[in-house]
């Protein structure tokens, strides 16, 4: 009950929107050409590789990763991972349609799902390339000729493996080996879909490359795998947005993203994560940045039941820069365990990590970060700022920073604040006529505004809309 | 008409206002003066509906069984009850509070905030955003507010004077029926005081029915804004009301006389 209402009139609760998928739809999913039986085994992994007509080395890679996955214990830090039932998950789904290039060829119900998400038709005209992942296979991708003319490769990972086998083999799994953690091992064993991007030397990709991923089958595990190689002096912005419809059973999303930023190149990788609130989102993202290169992670987490994700960068060349802008919002039943890792390996490297989190309705956010500066990284700078906003006393926020500094000639700054949504701020805005919900929304959107404005305009609008949606019914 | 009747208010269990009665008619300016801690700001916050101020809705003033008086407390604006309303409902009913210490809110620009507030109050002119902006810029100029302030986060890093001017700007834009100015003069130099007072006087001239409650510790503001009625508040009660001459008397003799007689 609002503390601003002197008279307590019991409110009639409208049916909780949390009971169903927020956008209120999901499409029939019985039209799969192939659906692996639930559970994980050597046979399932072999089947996936067989259906994809993969080269032998990839089959071996998958099988060895499976062994690592099975041998590794479940992490006991971060969120509660004990409730994942690996045996109930379908590890591979192949919709009947296969890969389509032209929008006209995309089946009606899949199109309708995209339309309901408000995504493609308008945007695909304006934007350079849209790839959307419908379950495990890329079914729709529209690529502008411009990309190809400049020599830019923007394919699904499966296509990339077929068309650029050497480039893939040279980089795949090199930055995040299967043994890195239990979930990178799982992804390596059963990966499907994701993007493969190569930007040639000196080429700037003018418009952001976008990919939409979604899960649309019960117990559909989604294990996409993305590899981005930005050659010397090139520049690219890759955007990944997620949304998933409702299912009562829990889903697992475990992606691996590897990015190679060569000398003087720049890569920005933006994620808008809005998985449905039953999804486990366990993602490993890492970038290798060479001399004078720059990597920017813009990582926005709104959805999922539990997210554990710490986009990281290895600043491997002199003067390399890394930046993470992380925003997390946790409502009832959600835990966003996010942060970033900055590994300084070379002199005069710079890292900046800005994290903002909002917890409400008993939700939990954690900032987990690492700044590691090696002995040879003299003259390096690192700055970490994490701000948390708590909307009510039931919510929780924690900060777990780790600094490992093995060089004395460095500059290191760490700021952390936790603020409660101020009664005085609410009162001030309400005294100007805004109701409590509108006032809370205004305070929250002001809090995250410095990060939102780093997004391209249409994403900024989408983010603000998502935040508004999340805040609805938060008062009362 | 703004009517306050038998207002008892406590904060964290401590009684602050001990029965305040006040009637402000349209077009009147009432000054409420009193020493620190007399309850002036409590009155301002209570009128606007701050949740930390507990209004005792029914007061039994005597324990004699026969003569039990139940004094009903009231806050009414033009016949509408405000006491049971949230701050935003009070604002929509036409009440405004110029804060003594306006809070800052990061990431929300002054102009966006004003736009949303005027929309909420249904005050956007029919011919739209452009006209609203023209009006806003006009008002900004007259109040001596730097235009770039409109693009900055609400009150963040503003000087004391800028904050106070912005409160008056909001009052001009939100066009209330009744406004409470809580120590708007504090922390202002004479020049700023004049600008702020001019702003208030302009609004009074434009809107003849605007009623104002000026809360002030000093009487210097009353050189620039002429009150119709002056009230002296001591220890949670209005102990004396009178015309402008009362303010002059206070200046000459201070509050001591009232403190003793009280």
Confidence (pLDDT) at A106:
55
Greater confidence (B104 vs A104) lies with B104
**In the block, residue with structure tokens 């780790």:** A402
Q: Contact A423/B116, CB-based, under 8 Å? A: no
- Give the DSSP H/E element, type plus range, for residue A467: helix A457-471
pLDDT for A1: 39
For A424, the closest chain B residue by CA position comes to B103
pLDDT band at A12 (very low <50, low <70, confident <90, very high): very low
By DSSP bridging, strand A251-253 and strand A225-230 are unpaired
Average pLDDT over residues A163-173: 96
Contact in structure between A228 and A234 (CB atoms under 8 Å): no
- Suggest the residue from B44, B46, B84, B87 to mutate for an interface test with chain A (most A CBs closer than 10 A): B87
Whether A389 and chain B come into contact, CB under 8 Å, resolves to: no
CB-closest option in A423, A432, A450 to B117: A432
Widest pairwise Cα distance in chain A: 71
Is 60 exceeded by the pLDDT of residue A71?
yes
Look up tokens 């510790």; give the residue. B217
Distance from CA of A348 to the nearest CA of B (A): 32
* Per-residue pLDDT band at A34 (split at 50, 70, 90): low
Closest CB to B91 among A422, A425, A433: A433
Query: Three-state SS for B78?
Result: coil
Q: How do residues A434-453 score in pLDDT, each as one tens digit?
A: 999 899 999 998 999 888 88
Q: Do A430 and B88 touch (CB under 8 A)?
A: yes
Residues of B in contact with A424 (CB under 8 A): 103
- Cα distances (angstroms) measured from residue A309 to each of A313, A366, A398, B119, B155: 13, 11, 15, 40, 36
A464 in B contact zone (CB under 8 Å): no
Q: Is the pLDDT of residue A105 over 70?
A: no
**pLDDT at residue A28 in the model:** 45
pLDDT at site A129: 40
**Taking CB atoms and an 8 Å limit, are A6 and B102 in contact across chains?**
no
A432 interaction partners in chain B (CB closer than 8 Å)? 88, 91, 113, 117, 120, 170, 174
Asked if B87 and A431 come within 8 Å (Cβ–Cβ), the reply is yes
Phi/psi of residue B54, nearest 5 degrees: -85, 120
Domain B2-261: top CATH class: alpha beta
**What residues in A contact B96, CB-CB < 8 Å?**
431
A28 touches chain B (CB under 8 A): no
User: pLDDT (tens digit, 0 to 9) for every residue of chain B, 262 residues total?
Assistant: 999 999 999 999 899 999 999 999 999 999 999 988 899 999 999 999 999 999 987 655 555 554 444 557 889 999 999 998 999 999 999 999 999 999 999 899 999 899 889 888 887 766 677 888 888 899 999 999 999 999 999 999 999 889 999 999 999 999 999 999 999 988 888 888 999 999 999 999 999 999 999 999 877 888 899 999 999 999 999 999 999 889 888 888 888 877 766 5
8 A C-beta contact, residue B96 and residue B176: yes
Q: Residue A18 gets which letter from DSSP?
A: G
- C-alpha–C-alpha distance, residues A372 and A382, integer Å: 9
pLDDT at A342 over 70: yes
Six token digits for residue A432: 């100007």
pLDDT band of residue A5 (cuts 50, 70, 90) is low
- CB proximity list for B93: less than 8 A, separation 6 or greater: B77, B78, B80, B82, B85, B177
In which residue are the tokens 């249409």 written? A458
pLDDT (0 to 100) of residue B65 = 52
Element (H, E) at A446: helix A436-452
SS3 A112: helix
Q: Residue A4: list chain B partners with CB under 8 A.
A: 49, 51, 86-88
**What's the start-to-end Cα distance of chain A, in Å?**
4
- As a whole-number percent, the residues of chain A with pLDDT over 70 amount to 75
Length of chain A: 476
CA dist B103 to A419, A424, B158, Å?
14, 7, 10
CB contact under 8 A, A434 and B88: yes
- Give the per-residue pLDDT at A114: 53
Q: What is the DSSP string of A72-88?
A: SPPP-SSS--TT--GGG
Which of A427, A440, A448, A476 is best to mutate for the B interface (most B CBs within 10 A)?
Answer: A427
Interchain proximity A431–B48, CB inside 8 Å: yes
The closest alpha carbon to A418, from A401, A400, A398, A402, belongs to A398
Instruction: For residue A8, give how far its alpha carbon lies from the nearest alpha carbon of chain B (Å).
Output: 10
Rounded distance between C-alpha atoms, residue A472 and residue A441, angstroms: 8
On the question of pLDDT at A30 being above 60, the answer is no
Cβ contact, residue pair B86, A6, below 8 Å: yes
Asked if A186 has any chain B CB less than 8 Å from its own CB, the reply is no
pLDDT of residue A393: 87
The answer to whether the predicted template modeling score (pTM) of the entire model surpasses 0.80 is no
A271–chain B nearest CA distance, Å: 22
**Burial (0-12, 13-18, 19+ Cβ within 10 Å), A54:** middle
Residue A219's pLDDT band, with cuts at 50, 70 and 90, is: very low
Residue A122 to residue A126: CA distance in whole angstroms: 7
| Comparison of pLDDT for B175 and A250, the residue scoring more | B175
Of B91, B103, B153, the CB nearest to A425: B103
Residue spans of alpha helices (H) in chain B: 40-48, 87-93, 110-120, 128-142, 160-174, 190-206, 244-253, 256-261
Task: Give Cα B149 to chain centroid, integer Å.
Answer: 23
Instruction: Looking at the complex, report in whole angstroms how far the Cα of residue B8 sits from the nearest Cα belonging to chain A.
Output: 15
Asked if A3 reaches chain B (Cβ–Cβ under 8 Å), the answer is yes
Average pLDDT, chain A: 81
Tell me the residue ranges of DSSP E strands in A360-449: 364-373, 381-390, 396-405, 411-420
pLDDT value of position A10: 40
HEC letters along B211-256 = EEEEEECCCHHHHCCCCCEEEEEECCEEEEEECHHHHHHHHHHCCH
What pLDDT score was predicted for residue A20? 37
Min mean pLDDT across A75-84, A129-138, A220-229, B250-259 is at A129-138
Say if residues A294 and A266 touch (Cβ distance below 8 Å): yes
Residue A405 has pLDDT above 90, yes or no: yes
List Cα–Cα distances, B114 to A429, A435, B117, B139, in angstroms.
10, 15, 5, 13
pLDDT at position A95 is 55
For residue A82, name the pLDDT band (cuts at 50, 70, 90): confident
Helix or strand (DSSP H, E) at A190: helix A182-190
CB contact under 8 A, B91 and A432: yes
């Amino acid at each position: 009950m609002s503390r601003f209402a002197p008279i307590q009139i019991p409110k009639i609760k409208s049916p909780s929107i949390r009971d169903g998928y927020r956008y209120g739809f999901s499409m029939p999913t019985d039209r799969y050409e192939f659906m692996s039986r639930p559970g994980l085994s050597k046979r399932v992994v072999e089947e996936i590789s067989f259906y994809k007509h993969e080269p032998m080395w990839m089959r071996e890679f998958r099988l060895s990763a499976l062994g690592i996955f099975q041998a590794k214990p479940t992490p006991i830090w971060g969120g509660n991972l004990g409730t994942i039932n690996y045996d109930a998950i379908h590890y591979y789904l192949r919709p009947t349609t296969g890969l389509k290039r032209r929008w006209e060829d995309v089946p009606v119900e899949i199109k309708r799902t995209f339309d309901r998400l408000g995504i493609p038709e308008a945007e695909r005209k304006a934007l350079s390339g849209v790839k959307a992942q419908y379950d495990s296979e890329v079914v729709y991708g529209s690529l502008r000729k411009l990309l190809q003319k400049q020599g830019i490769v923007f394919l699904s990972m499966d296509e990339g493996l077929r068309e650029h086998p050497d480039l893939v083999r040279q980089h795949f799994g090199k930055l995040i080996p299967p043994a890195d953690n239990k979930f990178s091992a799982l992804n390596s064993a059963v990966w499907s879909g994701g993007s493969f991007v190569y930007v040639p030397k000196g080429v700037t990709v003018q418009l952001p490359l976008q990919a939409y991923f979604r899960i649309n089958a019960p117990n559909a595990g989604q294990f996409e795998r993305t590899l981005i190689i930005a050659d010397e002096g090139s520049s690219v912005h890759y955007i990944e947005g997620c949304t998933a419809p409702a299912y009562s059973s829990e889903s697992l999303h475990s992606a691996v993203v590897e990015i190679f930023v060569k000398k003087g190149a720049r890569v920005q990788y933006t994620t808008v994560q809005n998985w449905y609130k039953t999804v486990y989102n366990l993602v490993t993202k890492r970038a290798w940045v060479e001399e004078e290169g720059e990597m920017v992670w813009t990582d926005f987490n709104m959805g999922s039941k539990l997210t554990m994700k710490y986009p990281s960068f290895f600043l491997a060349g002199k003067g390399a820069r890394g930046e993470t802008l992380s925003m997390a919002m946790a409502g009832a039943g959600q835990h966003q365990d996010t942060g970033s890792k900055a590994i300084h390996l070379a002199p005069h490297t710079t890292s900046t990590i800005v994290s903002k989190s909002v917890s409400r309705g008993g939700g939990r956010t954690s900032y987990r970060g690492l700044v590691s500066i090696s002995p040879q990284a003299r003259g390096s700078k690192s700055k970490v700022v994490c701000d948390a906003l708590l909307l009510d006393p039931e919510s929780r926020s924690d900060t777990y920073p780790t600094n490992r500094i093995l060089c004395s000639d460095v500059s290191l700054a760490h700021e952390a604040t936790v603020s409660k949504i101020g009664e005085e701020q609410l009162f001030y805005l309400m005294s100007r006529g805004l109701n409590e919900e509108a006032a809370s929304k205004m305070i929250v959107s002001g809090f995250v505004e410095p990060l939102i404005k780093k997004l391209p305009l249409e994403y900024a609008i989408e983010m603000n809309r998502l935040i508004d949606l999340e805040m609805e019914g938060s008062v009362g | 008409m703004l009517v306050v009747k038998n207002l008892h208010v406590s904060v964290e269990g401590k009684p602050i206002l001990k029965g305040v009665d006040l009637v402000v008619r349209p077009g009147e300016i009432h000054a409420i003066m009193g020493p620190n801690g007399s309850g002036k700001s409590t009155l301002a916050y209570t009128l606007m509906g701050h949740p930390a101020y507990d209004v005792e809705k029914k007061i039994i003033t005597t324990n004699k069984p026969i003569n039990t008086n139940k004094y009903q407390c009231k806050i009414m604006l033009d016949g509408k009850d405000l006491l049971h309303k949230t701050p935003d409902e009070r604002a929509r009913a036409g009440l405004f509070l110029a804060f003594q210490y306006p809070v800052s809110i990061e990431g929300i620009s002054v102009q966006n905030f004003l736009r949303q507030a005027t929309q909420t109050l249904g005050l956007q002119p029919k011919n739209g955003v452009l006209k609203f902006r023209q009006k806003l810029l006009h008002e900004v100029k007259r109040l001596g507010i730097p235009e770039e302030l409109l693009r900055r986060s609400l009150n963040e890093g503003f000087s004391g004077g800028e904050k106070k001017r912005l409160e008056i700007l909001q009052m001009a834009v939100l066009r209330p029926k009744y406004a409470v100015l809580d120590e708007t003069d504090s922390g202002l130099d004479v020049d700023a005081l004049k600008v702020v007072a001019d702003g208030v006087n302009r609004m009074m001239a434009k809107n003849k029915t605007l009623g104002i409650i000026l809360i002030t510790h000093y009487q210097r503001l009353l050189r620039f804004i002429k009150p119709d009625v002056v009230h002296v508040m001591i220890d949670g009660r209005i102990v004396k009301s009178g015309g402008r001459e009362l303010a002059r008397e206070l200046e000459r003799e201070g509050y001591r006389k009232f403190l003793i007689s009280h």
